[in-house]
């Protein structure tokens, strides 16, 4: 059976699962569907739900934050509202020199729509974007 027939869940390495839990649950408002061991670390992993099902695996690892690439993107209907809510929760949006950003940190997306990026405490990059 081809991989296209199966769900995909990104895995994000973090250096300290307790700090990550405070960010992902406290600031992003994600709900943990599962928590348990990761490698040799008791309670070192979490699976978070988004969009009605398992969506993001977060685990403690020495390889945390080693890429500047965007690791996952949430597609939302009202980008301004989501950015406002995340900002109120303490999330800081990343601004890149090569893009023009509005006061909230939102920039036009290539091909239409708008996008805003933020990072977790380890520097893992995420985005929220909308088609309008």
> Which domains are delineated in the chain?
3-130 (3.10.180.10)
Q: How far apart are CA 59 and CA 20, in angstroms?
A: 9
Q: How far apart are CA 59 and CA 68, in angstroms?
A: 18
Q: What is the pTM of this model?
A: 0.92
Q: What is the mean pLDDT of residues 105-130?
A: 96
Tens of pLDDT, residues 49-105:
998 888 899 999 999 999 999 999 999 999 999 999 999 999 999 999 999 999 999
Question: What mean pLDDT, rounded, does the chain reach?
Answer: 94
Name the E strands within 52-113.
Answer: 53-60, 70-75, 93-94, 107-108
Token pair belonging to 90: 């303490």
Q: How far apart are CA 114 and CA 48, in angstroms?
A: 25
Q: What is the mean pLDDT of residues 14-36?
A: 96
Nearest to 109 by CA among 100, 118, 121, 97: 100
Confidence of residue 8 (pLDDT cuts 50, 70, 90): confident
The pLDDT of residue 1 is above 80: no
CA dihedral 87, 127, 34, 64 (to 10 degrees): -100
């Amino acid at each position: 059976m081809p991989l296209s027939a199966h769900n995909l869940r990104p895995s994000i390495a973090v250096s300290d699962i307790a700090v990550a839990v405070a960010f992902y649950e406290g600031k992003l408002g994600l709900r943990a569907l599962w928590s348990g061991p990761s490698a040799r670390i008791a309670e070192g992993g979490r699976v978070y739900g988004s969009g009605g099902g398992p969506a993001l695996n977060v685990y403690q690892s020495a390889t945390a934050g080693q890429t500047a690439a965007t690791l996952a993107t949430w597609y939302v209907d009202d980008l301004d509202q989501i950015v406002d809510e995340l900002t109120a929760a303490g999330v800081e949006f990343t601004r890149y020199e090569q893009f023009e950003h509005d006061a909230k940190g939102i920039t036009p997306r290539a091909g239409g729509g708008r996008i805003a990026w933020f990072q977790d405490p380890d520097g893992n990059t995420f985005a929220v974007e909308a088609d309008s």
